[in-house]
Each structure stands twice: as C-alpha cells, then as structure tokens.
C-alpha cells in the first residue's frame, strides 16, 4: 500500500502540470465558464481518465485509510470520497457548460476515474 500511495503523488503532479494555465479553482467556476482562454485538456493523464487529480487523491485517501487500519480514519475517508465524487459531478457540468459537445465527446471516450486496461481495436 505504501508503494501505491507513493505512486499516486507523481501521478497527481503530472495531472496538475498537464493542466498548466487551464487549472481553475473550483470556487471560481463562474469565471471559468465565462473565460474564453481555457482549452479542453485531453492529453497526458487526461488521455486515460477525465479526473486524474481526483483519482490520485482517491488512491491516496484509500491507501492511507487501509494502512492505518483505524475505523475513524476509514469512515472519514469514505465521507471524503463521497464529497469528491459530488464535486466531480459539479465540475463536469461546468465543463459541459463551457465546452459543450466537445466535452460530451471526451466523456464518451474517456472514463471518469478507472482507466480502460485495453484499447478497442477496429477491424478493417
């Protein structure tokens, strides 16, 4: 579990780095929707999952809860996971408002949290 927790940190940093200037504080959602400067980022870790920052945080939270083997920490981790999942829903609605069909298409091809292990291959 310690290795999983340790690996979640560089993954999360990679996601932040990939977003670059497109990262927006969730509390400033209205400014994001009005902004015309932001672009939809679909490369780097965003190629595999739509929410790699949250995925890294979820992995970290779950791993710490399991390693600690403390019921209070496990329960608070479950509450935090629920809050994160609710926040993701709000942010995805915000992204649909901002990017419309472009984000809807991205949603169709890219999973929310769990990456596809095998890519679909087309036959000719």
Q: Check whether 33 has a pLDDT greater than 60.
A: no
* 87-105: pLDDT as tens digits: 999 989 989 988 999 999 9
User: Contact 97/36 with Cβ under 8 angstroms?
Assistant: no
The band of 5, judged by pLDDT with boundaries at 50, 70 and 90, is confident
Q: What pLDDT was estimated at residue 122?
A: 43
Please count the residues of the chain.
124
pTM: 0.80
Mean pLDDT taken over the chain: 84
Q: How many CA atoms lie within 13 A of 103 on its CB side?
A: 17
Q: What pLDDT was estimated at residue 20?
A: 83
CA 61 – CA 110 distance, rounded (Å): 23
CB atoms within 10 A of CB 53: 21
Percent of the chain with pLDDT strictly greater than 90:
44
* 50-81: pLDDT as tens digits: 999 999 999 988 888 888 888 888 888 899 99
User: Contact 61/77 with Cβ under 8 angstroms?
Assistant: yes
């Amino acid at each position: 579990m310690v290795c999983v927790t340790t690996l979640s940190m560089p993954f999360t940093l990679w996601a932040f780095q990939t977003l670059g200037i497109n990262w927006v504080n969730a509390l400033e959602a209205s400014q994001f929707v009005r902004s015309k400067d932001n672009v939809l980022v679909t490369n780097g870790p965003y190629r595999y999952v739509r929410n790699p920052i949250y995925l890294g945080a979820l992995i970290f939270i779950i791993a710490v809860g399991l390693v600690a083997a403390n019921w209070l920490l496990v329960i608070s981790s479950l509450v935090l996971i629920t809050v994160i999942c609710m926040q993701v829903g709000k942010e995805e609605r915000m992204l649909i408002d901002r990017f419309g069909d472009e984000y809807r298409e991205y949603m169709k091809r890219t999973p929310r949290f769990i990456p596809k292990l095998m890519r679909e291959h087309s036959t000719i």
